[in-house]
Amino acid sequence: MKREDVLMEALPYIQKFYGKTIVIKLGGHAMVDQKILETVIRDAVLLHYVGMKVVLVHGGGPEITAKMKAMGKEPKFVGGLRITDPETLEIAQMVLVGKINDGIVSLIANCGTRAVGISGNDGNLLIARKMEPQRVQIGETFEEVDLGHVGEIEEVDPEVLHCLLAQNYIPVVAPIAIDRQGQSLNINADTAAAEIAIALKAYKLVNLTDVDGVMDADRKKVYHRLSLADAEAMIGRGVIAGGMIPKLEGCMKAIRNGVTSAHVVNGNREHNLLLELFTDEGVGTMITP
Ligand SMILES: Nc1ncnc2c1ncn2[C@@H]1O[C@H](COP(=O)(O)OP(=O)(O)O)[C@@H](O)[C@H]1O
Ligand SMILES: CC(=O)N[C@@H](CCC(=O)OP(=O)(O)O)C(=O)O
């Protein structure tokens, strides 16, 4: 394809997305290579300059895990959610708010654009309550497992994001929420991104991760298009595991609540974000009603 054809293929998409809100979730597994992360940030800045309202929500699971191990703690997950004791919450806040959020804001600044880093605590963006204990199958029996300081989002107040977007800042959100007593809670970043997309009435939610999309059980085939019913059936068949559970559930909830499309895209390949949005074929999984 000629270079000018590539640009012309993008034009109808640029027109369609102009002025629309896009929530981009940067998974921890899509941020392991600093060089690629820099290209992802440049892509996000490009979306900002072609007129989209860009909101970034980031994870950082692998870095939290590494820090826990370095401190002699063994990470444990239930349904893709980290069991979070008080010390783990402190580590998660340090890594997510203190390090990763700040790093992304600096990368955006390096592209000549202004970003503001916040967590769900700021402006009461994410109000949560402690998650109820989860039923987990251990061998033949079921046990109730308390996840500790893990939150379930009760309310989203997007006002702070509207203010930042109106002033042309790119908001960068760390997945920590606050409960009604002022206690911080650890939130899965996929869930945070989906709830924020719903509250902003976003046009798109894009999850950048380390796989080419939602795959079948033996992880050979990528599904490029999924309806809500297809996605529900995949969860029912047990094809979806680990960190893909909150991701796909977040996408489904977003779609059920008015977001036009949700995407799962490999963020470890350069410019996949642009290719997913601005080409006819796309590169990842697009979930629609
Ligand atoms: N059906 C599936 N299709 C694709 N990935 C899956 C599937 N089931 C489980 N996964 C896992 O989900 C992971 C992505 O989730 P996660 O590790 O939480 O990433 P991130 O840190 O980017 O949010 C993949 O690396 C893959 O191992
Ligand atoms: C409750 C819970 O699991 N919180 C996550 C928050 C970070 C996250 O979600 O990071 P990824 O997007 O990289 O997975 C955690 O502690 O790992």
- Asked if residue 182 has pLDDT above 90, the reply is yes
pLDDT in tens, 205-240: 999 999 999 999 999 999 999 999 999 999 988 899
Question: Does 229 or 7 have the greater pLDDT score?
Answer: 229
Nearest-CA residue for ligand 1 atom 9 is 241
Query: Ligand 2: which of 68, 82, 93, 152 to mutate, judged by most atoms within 8 Å of the beta carbon?
Result: 82
Q: Using an 8 Å Cβ cutoff, are 128 and 58 in contact?
A: no
- Asked if residue 3 has pLDDT above 90, the reply is no
- Side chain identity, residue 232: E
Q: Which ligand has the minimum distance to the alpha carbon of residue 153?
A: 2
SS3 for the chain is CCHHHHHHHHHHHHHHHCCCEEEEEECHHHCCCHHHHHHHHHHHHHHHHCCCEEEEEECCHHHHHHHHHHCCCCCCEECCEECECHHHHHHHHHHHHHHHHHHHHHHHHHCCCCEEEEECCHHHCEEEEECCCEEEEECCEEEEECCECEEEEEEECCHHHHHHHHCCCEEEEECEEECCCCCEEECCHHHHHHHHHHHCCCCEEEEEECCCCEECCCCCCEECEEEHHHHHHHHHCCCCCCCHHHHHHHHHHHHHCCCCEEEEEECCCCCHHHHHHHCCCCCCEEEEC
pTM, full prediction = 0.96
- Asked if residue 101 has pLDDT above 90, the reply is yes
Q: What is the mean pLDDT of the chain?
A: 96
Q: In whole angstroms, what is the distance from residue 226 CA to residue 218 CA?
A: 18
Report pLDDT for 136.
87
Q: Which ligand has the minimum distance to the alpha carbon of residue 40?
A: 1
- The token pair at 82 is 């980290």
Mean pLDDT value across residues 266-270: 95
Report pLDDT for 23.
98
- The reply to whether 61 sits in an annotated binding site is yes
Report pLDDT for 165.
98
Mean pLDDT value across residues 273-287: 95
In DSSP terms, which residues pair with 156 in a beta bridge? 126
Query: Ligand 1: which of 244, 245, 266, 285 to mutate, judged by most atoms within 8 Å of the beta carbon?
Result: 244
pLDDT in tens, 126-168: 999 999 999 988 888 899 999 999 999 999 999 999 999 999 9
Asked if residue 247 has its Cβ within 6 Å of ligand 2, the reply is no
Asked if residue 89 has its Cβ within 6 Å of ligand 2, the reply is no
Q: Using an 8 Å Cβ cutoff, are 204 and 23 in contact?
A: yes
Report pLDDT for 219.
92
Mean pLDDT value across residues 253-279: 96
- The reply to whether 186 sits in an annotated binding site is yes
Q: Which atom of ligand 2 is nearest to the CA of 65?
A: 17
Query: Ligand 2: which of 91, 184, 186, 264 to mutate, judged by most atoms within 8 Å of the beta carbon?
Result: 186
Q: Is the ipTM of this complex over 0.90?
A: yes
- Asked if residue 185 has pLDDT above 90, the reply is yes
Fold entry, domain 3-233+248-280: Carbamate kinase (3.40.1160)
Burial class (CB in 10 A: 0-12, 13-18, 19+), 39: middle
Give me the percent of the chain exceeding a pLDDT of 70.
Answer: 100
Nearest-CA residue for ligand 1 atom 15 is 243
Report pLDDT for 225.
96
The confidence band for 79, taking pLDDT boundaries of 50, 70 and 90, is confident
Q: In whole angstroms, what is the distance from residue 178 CA to residue 124 CA?
A: 7
pLDDT in tens, 242-261: 889 899 999 999 999 999 99
